[in-house]
Amino acid sequence: MRNLDGNVIRTTGSASANAPVIGRPASFSLTPPQAEFAGSLEIYPAIVAGFGSGKTEALVARGTALTLQNPGRFIGVYARTYGDIAIILIPRFEMTLARLGLKYTTNKSEKTISVHGYGTLLFRSMDNPSSIVGFETVHALIDELDTLPKEQAQHAWRMIAGRNRAKTRNGARNSIAVATTPEGYRFVYENWGDNPKPGYHLIRASSYSNEANLEVGYIDGLRKLYPPALFEAYILGQFKNLESGSVYPDFCRIENNTNETIRSGESLQIGMDFNINQMAATVIVKREGRPYALEEFSKVRDTPAMCQAIRKRFGHRHPITVYPDPAGRANSSKDASLSDFSILQKAGFNIKAHTAHPLVRDRVLSVNSLILNSHGERSLLVNVKACPAVTACLEQQVYDKTGAPDKKSGVDHAGDSIGYPLQFMYPIVGRGRQLMKTEGN
C-alpha cells in the first residue's frame, strides 16, 4: 500500500492498527480501508463507506498528516454546510490535535485551525460552490460529496480543483480526497465507479470493517430497518439506485455476481434488442436450471452487424438460439424490406419469440423473480465484469412519470436484451400465451 509517509499513516492490517504521527504516541486506530485512504498517494482517492465505517476518522487522519507535512500551507476541508463544519469537522480535528499534543489556534470567524509550526486547515462549505474563491490550497478533503445533487457536486469539484494549486512542501502532487456514503449513481459513481479515470482511486469500507468499534447490535439493527437497496448502500458501501421506482430494486452486483465463463460447445441463449446504432444482446447459458448471463454485445450498428459480431466471437462452435424483440418480426434495423427475424434466420440462428409483444410488466416480474424471490433465493447470476451494460441497467433503471421503465437514460437496451430470454424461459405469468419457434437453417 502506498502511504503519505510511513511515519505519519500506516497500518499493520489489523482492525486496530496503531498509526504513529511524526514520532508521537499513537492516536489513530485505523482499520485497513481507513489507513489505505489516509495514506494514499493517488491524486483523487475516495473512501466510499457505510454508516459507522469510520470515514470521518479516516478523513481527519489524512488531513492531520497533510497539515503536519506542509508547514505554512493551507489544507482545504469542505463539507455540505457550515453547520457540518462547526458541529462535526472542526471539533473532530481539535480533538485529534489535542490527543497528539499539538498546539493550535481555531479562528471561528475565518473557519481555520492553524497548527503551530505546521500548516493550516481551511474549512469551507459547498452549499454555494461559487463562493469557493480567494485562497490556494496544497491538498483538499471533501466530506459527503455524494450527498449533493450531481450538478452541485460537479460545480463544487471544479471550484475546489481550481483552488488546489499551491506548491507542496515535500514536492508531492496536489490531491483531492473524498469521504462519503454512496448516494446512488451520482457524481462519485461517475468518476470512481466501474471505469474510473486515471488517478481516481476507489476504497470501499463496509460498516463491518469497523464493527469492533461499533455498539453491539448496531449493524443488525440497521439490517432489520433497511430494505435491501439501502442496506447495500449504507452498510456495505455499494453504489445502489436509491431513487424511488427502481425497476430492479433487489439486484446486487455482489450477490448476483458470478465469475463463470462460457464453456466449450455450450448452448447459448442470446436475447436481442433492436435499435439502430444501439443494438444490444445478452448471452445466457443454463446450468442446472439457472440462468447465467456471461457475455454481452452493446452499441452495435444494426442486425447484420450484430450477426457478424456473434459469429466472429463464437463461430459455429456453439448451438445458438436468439430471443429477439418481437417487434423485429415486421421491422428491420437495416432494411425496411427485410425483417430482423429474416436476417437472423439467414445467419443460421434458431429463433424463439412471442407472437405478440409480451407485457413489459410480465417481463420485469420474470427478471425480478430470478434476481431475488420471496424465499431469499437468487437464481440469476451475471458476470458483472463481462456484462457492464447489463449490470448498469439492472442497477440504474427507474420508472418514469408514466409508470413505465425509463428510456431516456440510455441504460434500457441491455435490460431489454436480458429480459426477452428470461421472460420466455422463466415466465411467471401468461404461461398459456402462444409461442412461435423458428428453426434456423
Its CATH class, for the domain covering 17-234, is: alpha beta
Residues 44 and 157: beta-carbon distance below 8 Å: no
| Of 12, 10, 14, 105, the residue nearest 65 (C-alpha) | 10
List the beta strands (DSSP E) in 80-231.
Answer: 104-107, 112-115, 120-125, 139-143, 175-180, 200-205
Please provide the DSSP assignment of 68-107 as one string: HHSTT-EEEEEESSHHHIIIIIHHHHHHHHHHTT--EEEE
| Of 325, 356, 360, the residue nearest 340 (C-alpha) | 325
The set of long-range contacts for 401-404, using a CB threshold of 8 Å and a minimum separation of 24, is 404/360
Cell of 135: 485562497
Give the strands of the sheet with 290-300, arranged side by side: 381-382, 290-300, 279-287, 268-273, 320-324, 350-354, 435-438
Look at residue 161 and give its three-state secondary structure. Answer: helix
pLDDT digits (tens, 9 = 90+) for 57-79: 999 999 999 999 999 999 999 99
The answer for 370, left when phi > 0, alpha when psi is -120 to 50, beta otherwise, is alpha
Q: How far apart are CA 153 and CA 426, in angstroms?
A: 42
Identify any residues that bridge with 189 across adjacent strands, giving them in sequence order.
none
| Of 431, 425, 408, 378, the residue nearest 248 (C-alpha) | 378
Question: Which residue ranges of the chain lie beneath pLDDT 50?
Answer: 1-3, 5-26, 336-337, 430-441
Q: How far apart are CA 75 and CA 118, in angstroms?
A: 11
Note the Cα 198 to chain centre separation in Å. 16
Cell of 59: 478523513
- According to the model, what pLDDT value does residue 411 have? 85
Ranges in the chain annotated CATH 3.30.420.280: 268-438
Report strand pairing: 17-21 vs 290-300. Answer: unpaired
Sequence-distant (≥ 6) Cβ neighbours of residue 113 within 8 angstroms: 90, 93, 94, 97, 104, 105, 106, 107, 120, 121, 123
Q: Which CATH architecture group holds 268-438?
A: 2-Layer Sandwich (3.30)
Ranges in the chain annotated CATH 3.40.50.300: 17-234
pLDDT digits (tens, 9 = 90+) for 314-355: 999 999 999 998 775 556 565 544 688 899 999 999 999 877
| Phi (first) and psi of residue 425, to 5 degrees | -80, -30
Report if pTM > 0.85: no
- According to the model, what pLDDT value does residue 216 have? 92
Residues 416 and 401: beta-carbon distance below 8 Å: no
- According to the model, what pLDDT value does residue 201 have? 96
Q: How far apart are CA 320 and CA 351, in angstroms?
A: 9
- According to the model, what pLDDT value does residue 440 have? 38
Cell of 416: 431489454
Grid-cell match 420471496, residue found: 374
- According to the model, what pLDDT value does residue 441 have? 35
- According to the model, what pLDDT value does residue 291 have? 97
Q: How far apart are CA 58 and CA 237, in angstroms?
A: 15
What sections of 274-323 are H helices per DSSP? Answer: 303-314
Note the Cα 140 to chain centre separation in Å. 23
Residue 338: how many other CB atoms lie within 10 Å = 14
Grid-cell match 421472460, residue found: 423
Grid-cell match 439501502, residue found: 230
Sequence-distant (≥ 6) Cβ neighbours of residue 216 within 8 angstroms: none
Q: How far apart are CA 29 and CA 96, in angstroms?
A: 12
| Of 251, 258, 248, 252, the residue nearest 294 (C-alpha) | 258
